[in-house]
Amino acid sequence: MLDFGAKQDLPTVLLIDDDLVSREVMATVLTMSGYTVHTAAGGDESLQLLAAGECAPDVILMDAQMPGLSGSRLITQLRTRTRATVYAISGSNPPEDVVAASDGFLLKPFGADALNRLLEEHAAQSKPSTTPSLVADEPVVNTETLAQLRAIMPESAVREIYAAVVADLGRKINALQIAFAMRNTAEIRRIGHAIKGGCAMAGAQQAARLGAILETSAGPSSVPQSGNHLDNSSALLKDLRAASLNLKRMLEVEFPA
């Protein structure tokens, strides 16, 4: 059982899955843990439930690949009707657009512990994070590195470098979201190392520092993770997205198309 306190403090869950067995097993696990659970067999049915006011979910668990309205299109529709946190669930790695559109990912098959941990992390998001956030007044790009690049190549070439860094960060953020959901510490360290190295070469200071945090926060894969940055994955991903957005804005200002 989960230690969330009184039942009224537990998030209400909307579970969307076209597979009857998967849907019933997950709904039973959640109900036995004290959650209020609503279920839908597909995207259209879930939207009808929301439109009718039959449920007001705090968390939505949705299969990433279903017949009819599904994937990122369904997530877009859900976000126009509710402020619930949306987690994708799938038997294989979901499409990149689903990863980017959702707030997290859980790989099937999963047991009660994995499902409970995902919802515990959702509940913890309302608490102050201990993860180091973006440092105030930290430069987006190291000015010396930028000057050096401008001294040895045309402006168009420098712009291409930073555009490539922004695009690569987007791909790595999507991969990190999956790695965090799967608690894959080795993959988190690998991606963090790649972000640190690549961004440092381009002088992308904010992103490089966050990459270093990711590389060291997971720790050895053989050591149980507790009380480290894995427990603040949402905050770290938010900071990394902010650093990527800052870099994109810098690109638009310094190198207008």
Instruction: Report pLDDT digits (tens) over 68-89.
Output: 988 888 998 998 888 888 989 8
How many other CB atoms sit within 10 Å of the CB of residue 135? 11
Tell me the pLDDT band of 231, cut-offs 50, 70 and 90: low
Which amino acid belongs to residue 103? D
pLDDT number for residue 136:
60
Per-residue model confidence (pLDDT) at position 218: 56
H or E stretch including 243?
helix 233-254
Of 161, 254, 236, 242, the closest CA to residue 201 belongs to: 161
- Predicted pLDDT at 179: 81
Q: What is the pLDDT of residue 182?
A: 73
Tokens describing residue 17: 């899955």
> What residues form DSSP beta bridges with 58?
none
Please tell me the distance from the alpha carbon of residue 22 to that of residue 111, in angstroms, as a whole number: 11
**pLDDT tens by residue, 97-152:** 888 788 888 887 776 677 777 777 766 655 544 444 566 668 899 999 999 999 99
Q: Is the pLDDT of residue 221 over 50?
A: no
Amino acid 2 reads L
On the question of pLDDT at 228 being above 50, the answer is no
Q: pLDDT tier at 184 (50, 70, 90 boundaries)?
A: confident
Structure tokens at 107: 């790989």
Q: Are 185 and 218 in contact (CB under 8 A)?
A: yes
The number of beta carbons lying within 10 Å of the beta carbon of residue 91 is 13
pLDDT at 70: 87
Burial code (b: 16+ CB inside 10 Å, e: under 16) for 45-67 equals: ebbebbeeeebebbbbbbbbebe
CB 99 within 8 A of CB 92: no
Query: What is the separation of C-alpha 208 from the centre of its chain, rounded to a whole number of angstroms?
Result: 19
87 three-class SS: strand
Is pLDDT larger for residue 91 or for residue 68?
68
Q: Write phi, then psi, for 190 (nearest 5 degrees).
A: -65, -45
Determine which of 14-23, 42-51, 129-138, 173-182 has the lowest per-residue pLDDT on average: 129-138
Say which residue the tokens 């993770």 belong to.
Answer: 225
Grade residue 199 by pLDDT with cuts at 50, 70 and 90: very high
Are the CB atoms for 45 and 63 separated by under 8 Å?
no
Coil, strand, or helix at residue 203?
coil
- Mean pLDDT, to the nearest integer, of 88-101? 82
Domains of the chain in sequence order = 7-124 (3.40.50.2300), 143-254 (1.20.120.160)
In this predicted structure, what is the pLDDT of residue 42?
94
How deeply is 88 buried, as exposed, middle or buried, from its count of CB atoms within 10 A (0-12, 13-18, 19+)?
buried
Q: Which residues of 182-219 are buried (b: 16+ CB within 10 A; e: fewer)?
A: bebbebbbbbbebbbebbbebbbbbbbbbbbbbbebbb
pTM: 0.55
